[in-house]
Chains A and B, each alone.
Chain A
């Protein structure tokens, strides 16, 4: 789960990491009030779940509170396009208004899960402000990495090693080491999957301030962090994806016109791949789960039909333990509840599959039956393309 920058900063602050003074504004009036409290001069940062905001005009500096209000007027409601949002951009609904910070140096600091090593790692680079992936491409040597031992924790000597490698000395090195410990603690205590400060700023007065912050969280661990679950911002998600997650469906909207409904994530991805391979474009990823009950199929179908770009649907179910006849009954029942306005191709595999196909054929519903994934993909792409 993603959260906004200002929410991430509030969490870091709880772990004794210094962040610029400021607050979130949902209206120009609030921006004015916050800027006034900060003494007028302030930075306004658009809060959307995508990076590269500065490049798209999502970060502005106001000389006084009146200008902050004026800028907020322009920014709130604007569609912000950044390298990460796609061309349609993302609507700005909240701003972070905070004090400006005199910058002497910028550092990158992050904690994330290293899948290959099966441990979290602390990453640091002297090239603050640049995306870590970019640094990794251009100059991998510039990234310092220390693993966090799950049993003994992140050791102070590891933190010092990073601090010295960054060229810090004296009180600043000690401060950076303490800050790294705090960041690791914040990561672990919140079940984060990423805790990133970029840039971490060494101010001209010698203090360390998290100028920008990003945190994402392990969805599987949210059950034990209700306070973090509350930070979810449905405005940042596709409305159909929000609807799908309410029905425990894994749905991701894509750009194509062939809707697909599949049981199992791997098979769902493979189905998208084969649609593309035969010349079509998948409209979505949709995993109805290994079980695929008729209620789930019905809600899944409603979501597919709500996407107006869908011109054909491919249902690919590998029954496995579920019997084909039971699946077919579920499918028929589900689809009777939904207004179907496009051709539907069904590929069904599993025990009693012949019986299942007979039920589909005799349902009176307009299914096209397919034999195998390739046949199914070809059929649905042809049908969707002719509309």
Chain B
């Protein structure tokens, strides 16, 4: 099984006629994802690389039954695109766009509230359930179906982790890139809740980085509720304070959000914490052998 997306998922691509949208919609289709519609305001009625284009998401949903949206809209218009997807009855929006103002995302999260649409991202590689559906910009071929749920704030570092897993013959149930921005839709804990309920997911690989407190929250959830082994790597052990490390959200502010602090809490909560990114494959293999645990991730003592 997998979480959130599978072979039946029907995807509309917002911003499909742009350079990124065109390129990655093609990549998703080649992987086998059902790309059923595209949206570019003003280009409705046309067909772009065999995909029908609509002026509005609402129309795309009504005409094609799309339930998930993949968003490549430029930063200034991206918040509006997310809200348009929610308004159209989309169940899951995956926003790839990097550089959306934080204030716009604050408004989006408040407007989405407890509504029915889930948001993944922004500033993320997307989501993939190997062998079933790829909704994002990740290279599909490095993945294979299997028992590991992967959640990450990063892009290429996630590919690195997945490649290590696949290289050892370990597949993935679903890989979710939650995004590198300070304000995002789906959090680590949200993703862990999904993996907890997925019977095929037997272990979790979490890839965090400096900034904020999302890893600590994930650690506490793992200790309390997850019931499955979790391995974690936190990037930025050597990052200096006060500097933004590429991602808008990757910053140690006021001495808070360091890798050391996160790693300590994860460890305390029974999570297998790695110091080296080269040990991911090996550690997850060991965690799978260890099998499920009663209650949490196994706070010992």
Contacts and interface: CB of A to CB of B under 8 A. Distances in A.
A274 B259 CA distance: 14
A90 to B, nearest CB: 13
Interface stretch (B34-42, B106-114, B194-202, B224-232): B106-114
A266 B101 contact: no
B213 A116 contact: yes
Interface string B19-40: 0000000010000000000000
Interface stretch (B2-10, B49-57, B235-243): B235-243
Given A115-B249, A219-B248, A274-B276, A267 B102 contact: no
Contacts of B88: none
Nearest to B185: A118
Interface stretch (A16-24, A33-41, A282-290, A297-305): A282-290
Contacts of B207: 266
A274 B277 contact: yes
Contacts, number: 179
B239 A269 contact: yes
B266 interface: no
Contacts of A133: 254-256
Interface in B91-110: 99-107, 109-110
A267 B160 contact: yes
A349 B160 contact: yes
A220 B159 contact: no
Interface in B238-296: 238-240, 242-250, 254-256, 259, 275-278
B189 to A, nearest CB: 10
B110 A119 contact: yes
Interface in A82-115: 84, 113, 115
A214 B19 CA distance: 40
Interface in B150-208: 152-160, 163, 180, 182-183, 207
Interface in A264-293: 264-277, 282, 285, 287, 290
Given A220-B248, A252-B245, A269-B250, A321 B137 contact: yes
Contact of A272 (B239, B248, B256): B239
Nearest to A275: B238
Interface of A: 84, 113, 115-116, 118-120, 131-133, 136, 149-151, 188, 191, 193, 218-221, 223-224, 250, 252, 254, 262-277, 282, 285, 287, 290, 318-321, 349-351, 372-374
- Nearest 5 interchain pairs by C-beta: A266-B154, A265-B246, A264-B156, A266-B157, A221-B101
Given A269-B209, A274-B276, 12 more contacts: A218-B101, A254-B238, A265-B209, A266-B154, A269-B210, A269-B245, A274-B277, A282-B238, A318-B160, A320-B159, A351-B139, A374-B278
Interface of B: 27, 75-76, 99-107, 109-111, 137-139, 141-142, 152-160, 163, 180, 182-183, 207, 209-214, 217, 233, 235-240, 242-250, 254-256, 259, 275-278
